[in-house]
Structure 1
Amino acid sequence: MEETLQQAWRELDEPALPEGWQLFTDTMGIQIYRLYDEQTGLYEYKVYGGLADCPADLCADVYMDLDYRKQWDKNVKALQEEKSGEDKVIYWEVKYPFPLSNRDYVYVRERRDLDINGRKIFVILANSVSVPNWPEKSGIIRVHGYKQSLAIESDGKNGCKIFMYYFDNPGGMIPLWLINWAAKSGVPNFLKDMQKACKGYKQSSS
C-alpha cells in the first residue's frame, strides 16, 4: 500500500510509462495510456490531466463524498458504505446499457493527505475485496480485481492536476466497442462531470 501511494503522487511530476504502455487517446486535455495484460486479456490504464476551477482539496472531498456522487454521477445505480470488521467497505452498482447486465463492486479505499516538501498532495487508493455481507447478486456481474490510484495536486491556479491508474475485470461478454468507448469517452466525460460537481459542491456547501 505504501509503495503504491508513493508511486501515485510521483506520477504527477513524471509519468512512469515503461515499454509496453501506449497512448490510447488525447482529448479535452486528458491523456490516457494503456498496457495490455496477457494474463487477463484486458488493459491497465493511466490517466493524466487536470480540472480547471476545481481546487485540489475540493476535488478530493467531492471524490470521497458518496452521497453527493449519487446526485451527479448518472451511472450510479447503488452506492453505500458499511463497516465490515476493521474496514469500511463500499458497495457500488454501475448501470450498463441494455442488454448488458449491470456490474457491481465491493471495495475498500483510503485517502491520504500528504505534505511533500511543502506540496499538498491528496492520494486515494481503492482495491476490491470479498466480504460475506456483500454476496454476489443474481442478474448483476461482480467485478473482481478492481484497483485504482488517484493523486491530486493544485495546478498553481484555481484548478488541479490529476493522475489516475485503474484496472478492473468487468467479466461477461462485453463488446469491444463498449470497452473502447468506456476508456476513450467514459473517463474524460467522468472528469467533466466531476468538474461540474465541484462547482455544485461549493454552492451546496455555501
Structure 2
Amino acid sequence: MEDSWGFSEAQFQAACGQLDQPAPTAGGGWQLLVETMGISIYRLYEEESGLYSYKIFGGLADCPPELCADVYMDLDYRKQWDQYVKELCEKTYNGKRIIYWEVKYPFPLSNRDYVYIRERRDMDIGGRKIWVVLANSVSLPEFPEKPGIIRVKSYEQSLVLESDGKTGSKVYMYYFDNPGGMIPSWLINWAAKSGVPAFLKDMQKACLNYCKKT
C-alpha cells in the first residue's frame, strides 16, 4: 500500500474549516433534508454517481469532544452499542491500520462491507481545540470480497468535534458512500432522515456509558 493513501494536513484543515461555515445554501446545490434533535442534515446530488453526499451539523449535549472522539475510535466498544455492526476489526498491513466493517442490511437486501483507512488528529487551530477523524475506502487483495456481501468501494467520511462551550460537543460530519446493488429509495431516505440522527443519539448514549465503563 502506498503512503499516498494517508491524509494530508490540508484535508484536516479543510475539515476543521467546516465548523465555521454557514449552513449550505440551495444555490450551491445542497438541500436541507431534515432538522431533528438539534441536527440539520443536508444533501447534494452527485451527477457522476447518481447518489447523494451528506453534511450533518449539530450538537451532542453532555458529550465532551475528546470523549466523543475516543468512543468513535473504539471499535470493540462500537460492537456493543451499534446494532448494525455485523463484524468490525482492525488489521495492520504494511505498517498501516486497515479497518474491515460489515454492516447489517434489512432482509432481503445483502449486507454491505467496507475496507478503509482512518486517522484521528487532535488539533489546535488558533487556540481552539478541534478533534478530527477522516476515513476513506481502500482496495487491497488481502481483503477479498465475500460471497453474499456487497463491497462498498467508494466511501468517505469526516467527523469534526469541538466543545460547545458547555458540557457537550459541536459536531460536523461529511458522508458519502456508494452502496452498490439495487437499494430502494425509501431505505436511502430512511437512512438519511432517521438513521443518522438515531446513530448520533446512540453515540450520545454510548458516550455517557463509556464514562461508567472506564
User: TM-score normalized by structure 1?
Assistant: 0.97
Structure 1 runs, 4 residues or longer, greater than 2 Å off: 1-4, 15-18
- Quote how far apart the aligned CAs of 1:189 are: 0.3
Q: Who is 2:138 aligned against?
A: 129
Tell me the amino acid that sits aligned with residue 190 of structure 1.
F
Tell me the amino acid that sits aligned with residue 74 of structure 1.
Q
Q: Aligned pair 1:7/2:14, yes or no?
A: yes
- Within a 5 Å distance, the mapping from 1:95-110 to structure 2 comes to 95-110=104-119
- Quote how far apart the aligned CAs of 1:2 are: 2.5
- Quote how far apart the aligned CAs of 1:3 are: 2.4
For these two proteins, the number of residue pairs brought into alignment is: 205
**Using the alignment, how far apart are the partners of 1:43 and 1:50 within structure 2?**
23
From 58, 63, 70, give the equivalent of 1:49: 58
Q: Deviations over 1:16-54 (max 9, x none)?
A: 736111111111110011100011100010000110010
- Within a 5 Å distance, the mapping from 1:64-103 to structure 2 comes to 64-103=73-112
Gapped runs of 5+ residues in structure 2? 1-7
**Using the alignment, how far apart are the partners of 2:80 and 2:63 within structure 1?**
18
Q: Aligned pair 1:58/2:67, yes or no?
A: yes
Change (3 A) 1:25 1:189: same
- Quote how far apart the aligned CAs of 1:175 are: 0.2
Tell me the amino acid that sits aligned with residue 165 of structure 1.
Y
**Using the alignment, how far apart are the partners of 2:129 and 2:49 within structure 1?**
36
**Using the alignment, how far apart are the partners of 1:107 and 1:15 within structure 2?**
30
Tell me the amino acid that sits aligned with residue 10 of structure 2.
E
**Using the alignment, how far apart are the partners of 1:164 and 1:36 within structure 2?**
17
Tell me the amino acid that sits aligned with residue 123 of structure 2.
L
**Using the alignment, how far apart are the partners of 1:136 and 1:25 within structure 2?**
34
Q: Who is 2:4 aligned against?
A: none
Tell me the amino acid that sits aligned with residue 190 of structure 2.
W
- Give the 3-state SS of the residue equivalent to 2:174 in structure 1: strand
Gapped runs of 5+ residues in structure 1? none
Tell me the amino acid that sits aligned with residue 187 of structure 2.
L
- Give the 3-state SS of the residue equivalent to 1:12 in structure 2: helix
- Within a 5 Å distance, the mapping from 1:9-48 to structure 2 comes to 9-15=16-22, 17=24, 19-48=28-57
Tell me the amino acid that sits aligned with residue 151 of structure 1.
V
Tell me the amino acid that sits aligned with residue 107 of structure 2.
F
**Using the alignment, how far apart are the partners of 2:38 and 2:24 within structure 1?**
18
Q: Who is 2:210 aligned against?
A: 201
Cα RMSD for the two superposed structures? 1.0
- Quote how far apart the aligned CAs of 1:178 are: 0.1
- Within a 5 Å distance, the mapping from 1:118-197 to structure 2 comes to 118-197=127-206
User: TM-score normalized by structure 2?
Assistant: 0.94
